[in-house]
Every structure is written in C-alpha cells, then in structure tokens.
Amino acid sequence: MTALDVPPTKPRKPNSRKRSAEAWSWAFMRLSGLALVFLALVHFSITHIVNDVVDTDYDFVLDRWHNPAWRLFDWLLLVLALGHGVNGLRWIVDDYVRRPGPRKAVKGVLYSLTAVLVVVGTLTILAFPTRPR
Amino acid sequence: MSPASTRYKGKSGQWAFLGHRITGFLVFLFLLLHIVDVSLLRWPATYDQVHRLYGNVMLRLFEVGLLFALVFHTFNGLRIVAVDLFPDAVRNQRRLFQAVIAITLLMGIPGGIVILWPFIDGHLL
C-alpha cells in the first residue's frame, strides 16, 4: 500500500503542538542561517584570510576581546552555530536512527554535548580578562 | 534505517541535499573541536602552544577543507532560502546549484591559496 492508497476521508493530523514546534524549527534554521552567513564568514575571514592563523594567538584575542562588541559577536556566533548545528543533526538523527530507543539515546547525547559546549563557550568569553596582562 | 527515507529524485537536488548534510556535519564537528581549543584561553601558555598547531601544513589543509565546506553550506543554504521565498526559482534550480558550485570554487580556491601561502612560499615545511 502506498501513501496514495490511503483513503482521503480521515487525513492523519499531526499533533498540532509538535507541528508548530517544527514550524519554529524551520524558521529558526532560516533566520540563524542568514545570520551565520555574516557571522561565520566574517569570523573565518578575520582568523584565516586577513590574519594568518598563527598570528591569532592569546595576545590577538586580548586585543580583540578588549572590545565588548567582539565578545558579543563571538557569543552570537557560538550560540547560533551550535543551535543551527544541533537542529540540523536532530533532523539527520531522525532520518537514520529509526528505532525509538536508540533515537532517544543519540539525541540525549547530542543535546547534553551541546549544552556543555554552550556553557564552556560562554564561560570562556565571560571569564576572559578585560585588561591586558 | 530505510533507504527510502532519504532518497530523493536524484540529479542536482540529490547532490545538493547530500552535500548540505555532509558539510553541515563536518562543520559541526569542527565547531566542537574549536570550542574546546578556545576554552584553553584560560591557560594562556597552553593556548598558544596548542594554537600553534593550526599553522602546521596538515592542519592548514584541514582549514582549506573547512573553508570549502563552510562556503558550500553557506551558499547552498542561501539557495534553499531563495527557493523557499520564491518558489518559482525551482524552475532554475539546476542553474542555482551550478552557481553554488561556482561560488564555492571562486571563494574556496583563492582562500585556500591564502591559507596555504606560508607553505607555498616555502616558509614552512
């Protein structure tokens, strides 16, 4: 029986709360993606093209993070990139891990890892000294 | 896992889909590594020591790969947004995908040369 053979009288309605969560997820991917075009490409250009990667050492960060606007820039990049990535991986897991048990387990690991990295990244930015050493 | 779940109609759409997944996954993996290495800023000397590794030829090649993945994912993502906003764009979808490939090469190759320059120049081996 293919999908087309299903009688049209009783269409299966997806759970409306779940559907609206997926609509938000869809919108988040577009909006975060558009923001990341700017954030990620500027970040990569500064750290690999404009400056050579070996020059972006501790002192480089000290200079750059002296300006809170760059800390905000980097924090937005951190949070949006992780959010965008984790949501994309959630879709991938749904596609490839079909059994409910393993799916839950894989997502559990994925979400925990992401949560830890948001905390580690945020602390790295916040705890960094403002004044030169 | 059922193969039907991710099978598509083939051709450029299939490649765009596959490329988007693979590059997204790879960039995410790099992001995990990168958050950990930046967290070493707490210990300046250790940070500098680890960070110096990124200047190594092997890691420079890896950075070139990251650039290609990032640029492809960015512009393929913009293609997806464009098709969402203007459904008629589907009619030109092959052309759009070719543009994504072209931009990836146009940004990736010069960028890759800049990243590998110290090596090409003979400064580094």
pLDDT for A19: 74
Inter-chain CB pairs, A–B, below 8 Å? 93
Residues sharing a CB contact under 8 Å with residue A104, sequence separation 6 or more, in sequence order: none
| A3 has a pLDDT exceeding 90 | no
Band of pLDDT at residue A20, cut at 50, 70 and 90: confident
- Rounded to an integer, what distance in angstroms lies between the CA atom of residue A20 and that of residue A14? 10
What does pLDDT average to over chain B?
Answer: 90
Residue A37 to residue B5, Cβ atoms within 8 A: no
Q: How far is A16 from chain B (nearest CA, A)?
A: 22
pLDDT for B93: 86
Yes or no: say if B67 and B115 are a contact pair by the CB < 8 Å rule.
yes
Mean pLDDT is lowest, of A6-15, A52-61, B30-39, B76-85, for: A6-15
| B119 has a pLDDT exceeding 80 | yes
| Inter-CA distances, B31 with A16, A19, A85, A121, B52, Å | 34, 29, 9, 11, 18
| A57 has a pLDDT exceeding 90 | yes
Helix (H, G, I), strand (E, B) or coil at A52: coil
| B3 has a pLDDT exceeding 70 | no
Of B48, B67, B84, the CB nearest to A30: B84
Cα B71 off chain centre by: 5
Please report how the helices A68-96 and A16-44 are oriented relative to each other, as an axis angle in degrees rounded to 10.
Answer: 130
pLDDT for B1: 45
Q: What is the CATH number of domain A28-127?
A: 1.20.1300
The string of DSSP codes covering A92-133 is: HHHHH--SHHHHHHHHHHHHHHHHHHHHHHHHHHHHS-SS--
Q: Which helix (H) or strand (E) holds A49?
A: none
B122 touches chain A (CB under 8 A): no
Residue B32 to residue A113, Cβ atoms within 8 A: yes
| A1 has a pLDDT exceeding 50 | no
- State mean pLDDT over B22-39: 96
| A47 has a pLDDT exceeding 90 | yes
Identify the closest residue of chain A to B66 by CA–CA distance. Answer: A44
Q: Is residue B2 part of a domain?
A: no
Question: Which range marks the domain in which residue B99 is found?
Answer: 12-120
Q: Is residue B66 part of a domain?
A: yes
From B75, B61, B22, B82, select the one nearest A41 (Cα to Cα): B75
pLDDT for B42: 94
Residue B74 to residue A58, Cβ atoms within 8 A: no
pLDDT tens digit sequence for A67-110: 999 999 999 999 999 999 999 999 999 999 999 999 999 999 99
What's at A79, amino acid-wise?
Answer: V
Q: Is residue B6 part of a domain?
A: no
| B39 has a pLDDT exceeding 80 | yes
Region of A11 (left: φ > 0; alpha: ψ -120 to 50; beta: rest) is beta
Q: What CATH number corresponds to the domain at position B116?
A: 1.20.1300.10
What's at B58, amino acid-wise?
Answer: M
| B10 has a pLDDT exceeding 70 | no
pLDDT for B9: 63
pLDDT for B122: 77
Q: Is residue B39 part of a domain?
A: yes
Total domains in chain B come to 1
What's at B11, amino acid-wise?
Answer: K
Every domain of chain A and the residues it spans: 28-127
Q: How far is A81 from chain B (nearest CA, A)?
A: 8
